[in-house]
Amino acid sequence: MVKLLDFWAPWCGPCKLMNPVIEELEKEFAGKAEFEKINVDENQEKATKYGVMSIPTYIIEKEGKEVGRKIGVTAKSDLVKLLKG
């Protein structure tokens, strides 16, 4: 299954802007994709593992391998393209 990793932080303005977009995608891709929100303040180890330097960062994985990455405010259509692969 496709997975979207959403690296964010509560103080991040662009992350807050993107939150409704991610919520829409979660509804649209229910049963087709997994979504994991990763607070970089609470989970620096995972952010380091994925080489996340700025937020928001969205990483798309298929079968545990990274197949796409978007950094910053991203158009919903771009994330849809990545999720559909």
Distance between CA atoms of 21 and 71, rounded to whole angstroms? 14
16 catalytically annotated: no
- Mind listing the domains of the chain with CATH numbers? 2-84 (3.40.30.10)
Q: Which of 4, 15, 22, 52 is catalytic?
A: 15
Q: Is 40 among the catalytic positions?
A: no
pLDDT at 85: 84
Q: What residue type is 8 in one-letter code?
A: W
pLDDT in tens, 13-66: 999 999 999 999 999 999 999 999 999 999 999 999 999 999 999 999 999 999
Residue in 83, 9, 20 with CA at minimum distance from that of residue 47: 9
The Cα–Cα gap between 68 and 82 comes to 6
Options 12, 40, 47, 82, the catalytic residue: 12
Mean pLDDT of the chain: 97
Cβ atoms of 7 and 57 within 8 Å: the answer is: yes
